[in-house]
Structure 1
Amino acid sequence: MELTVRYFAGARAAAGRAEETVPAGRSLDELTDHLATRHGERLAKVLTVASFLVDGVTCHDRQAPLPAGATIDVLPPFAGG
């Protein structure tokens, strides 16, 4: 099984893509480490301040295994008023 990772706003620019799939079987912390290694320093910086949704729900436990087949949304901080 896989996870679908969707990038929004600055995360999309840093990753160089809107979406990708990665193997399942990891926690959010492990996933962000994998993504930072895969895409480099620019995305790594975004990931340190981003919020994450797992199947549309805010993820509070970054050590819990992500469910296989889940969609992970990477949401960088948004500016505006």
Structure 2
Amino acid sequence: MHLTVRYYAGARAAAGRTEESVPAGRSVDELVGELGDRHGQRLAAVLAVASFLVDGVACHDRWKPLPPGATIDVLPPFAGG
């Protein structure tokens, strides 16, 4: 099984893509480390301050294993009003 990672705003720009598929079997924190290693320091910096949705629900337990087939939305801080 895989996870779908969707990037928004600054995360999309830093990753250079809107979406990617990664193998399942990890937590959000493990995923953050892997994605930062894969895409570089610019994305790692965004991921360090981002919020995450798991299948549309805010993730509060970043060490809990992600369900196979889940969609992870990466939401960097937004400015504006």
What are structure 2's unaligned runs of at least 5 residues?
Answer: none
What is aligned with 2:13? 13
**Quick one: distance in 1 between partners of 2:31 and 2:44?**
11
Aligned residues: 81
Letter aligned with residue 24 of structure 1? A
What are structure 1's unaligned runs of at least 5 residues?
Answer: none
Report how far residue 50 of structure 1 moved.
Answer: 0.2
RMSD, aligned α-carbons:
0.3
What is aligned with 1:55? 55
1:1-81 matches, cutoff 5 A: 1-81=1-81
Per-residue CA deviations over 1:5-59 (Å, capped at 9, x if unaligned) read 0000000000000000000000010000000000000000000000000000000
Report the secondary structure of 2:12's partner residue.
helix
Instruction: Please report the TM-score for the alignment, with normalisation by the length of structure 2.
Output: 0.99
**Quick one: distance in 2 between partners of 1:30 and 1:78?**
24
**Quick one: distance in 2 between partners of 1:63 and 1:79?**
28
Instruction: Please report the TM-score for the alignment, with normalisation by the length of structure 1.
Output: 0.99
Identity of aligned residues (%): 79
